[in-house]
Amino acid sequence: MLPEFAQKYWQYEYDVAARHMIPLLERWGITLQGSRVLDVGCGEAGGLAAMADRGAHCSGFDIEAPRIEWARDLVAPRGIRLAVGNLFNAPPFTGETFDLLVLHDVFEHLDEKEEALGLLLGFLAPAGRILITFPPYYSAYGAHQQFLAAWYARIPYFHLLPFSLSRIVPRLRKENAVFREEVEKLGRLKMGMVAFERIAARTGMTIEHKRAYLLSPNYLRFGIPALPAGVLGDVPVLGELLCTGVVYLLSRQSALPA
């Protein structure tokens, strides 16, 4: 039997994709009908289901086996291919290429980011695109501390206070160990927009489009509408602090006309 939280998370993934990511892709000239899509870190595959419902041929994998098992039930009978796997260790679907790769709030968790982009290029069709979303680290909840139980640890920007992640969070013994360790990890990785754009450039990627949000599309689970940041998203320092979510569309440099 599917856990209730898995069904709710699937619906959240579906809604974010259907209401925000798919319309944004269409605005950027990306057609899903007939496209081959690979979701890396697909979770319960709600986002893939939304794309399949728009005519895409979808595949996905996730490192967590239970989530893939739940996903198989939740996406039936759409014909989505799902597998358990790790991008860095014999990933599924190796040898295939895709028109669109999706990493929805996954990239910030990866330790070896340049290596990850290099591996993703191996899955990318010559004219393919990569869609990457994440909450910038220096934003209000950039370390995902909203998942901690201690009320003071969930205060906006708590993770930016001196010693908060090195001394305070490790001592929160009643916390879920997975959540606590992930907050500490994100504090070590510090994935902001400027850092991401530098990584993309170093790995030979072109940023075709960028959309930053003051209120992330992910907040729809709380009934809060998305609010694009506009030009604020490109203001140094201020954009990193104020934008709670960002979406990038990448391509190979050689894929664009000279």
Domain residues for the domain of 203 are: 4-136+190-253
How far apart are alpha carbons 189 and 108 in whole angstroms? 8
Exposure of 70 in the CB half-sphere (CA atoms within 13 A): 21
Contact by Cβ (8 Å): 190, 135: no
Q: What is the pLDDT of residue 1?
A: 77
Contact by Cβ (8 Å): 251, 221: no
| Model confidence, pTM | 0.95
Regarding whether 64 and 18 lie in a shared domain, the answer is yes
The single-letter code of the amino acid at 120 is L
How far apart are alpha carbons 207 and 203 in whole angstroms? 11
In a domain, 173, yes or no: yes
Band (pLDDT 50/70/90 cuts) for residue 173 is confident
Regarding whether 92 and 63 lie in a shared domain, the answer is yes
pLDDT, the chain, mean: 96
Regarding whether 157 and 46 lie in a shared domain, the answer is no
Residues 35-63 have a mean pLDDT of 98
CB proximity list for 53: less than 8 A, separation 6 or greater: 18, 78
In a domain, 38, yes or no: yes
Could you list the beta-strand ranges (E) of 135-197: none
In a domain, 217, yes or no: yes
Regarding whether 177 and 195 lie in a shared domain, the answer is no
Rg of the chain over all Cα atoms, to the nearest angstrom: 18
Band (pLDDT 50/70/90 cuts) for residue 254 is low
Q: For the segment 126-166, what is each residue's pLDDT rounded down to a tens digit?
A: 999 999 999 999 999 999 999 999 999 999 999 999 999 99
Regarding whether 156 and 81 lie in a shared domain, the answer is no
Could you list the beta-strand ranges (E) of 35-80: 36-40, 57-62
Regarding whether 125 and 162 lie in a shared domain, the answer is no
Contact by Cβ (8 Å): 138, 241: yes
Pairing of strands 245-252, 205-215: antiparallel
In a domain, 258, yes or no: no
Regarding whether 180 and 85 lie in a shared domain, the answer is no
Contact by Cβ (8 Å): 187, 165: yes
What is the four-CA torsion angle of 246, 225, 142, 161, rounded to 10 degrees?
Answer: 130
Regarding whether 197 and 182 lie in a shared domain, the answer is no
Regarding whether 47 and 82 lie in a shared domain, the answer is yes
- Cβ neighbours, 10 Å, residue 164: 19
Regarding whether 61 and 18 lie in a shared domain, the answer is yes
Regarding whether 96 and 45 lie in a shared domain, the answer is yes
245: domain CATH number? 3.40.50.150
In the predicted model, is pLDDT for residue 69 greater than 90? yes
Pull the structure tokens for residue 205. Answer: 């990627």
Regarding whether 113 and 94 lie in a shared domain, the answer is yes
The structural domain count of the chain equals 2
Pairing of strands 98-104, 245-252: unpaired
In a domain, 162, yes or no: yes
Q: For the segment 91-106, what is each residue's pLDDT rounded down to a tens digit?
A: 999 999 999 999 999 9
In a domain, 218, yes or no: yes
Say which residue the tokens 């500490």 belong to.
184
Pull the structure tokens for residue 183. Answer: 């907050």
Contact by Cβ (8 Å): 206, 168: no
Pull the structure tokens for residue 216. Answer: 């992330």
Partners of 37 in beta bridges: 58, 100
In a domain, 53, yes or no: yes
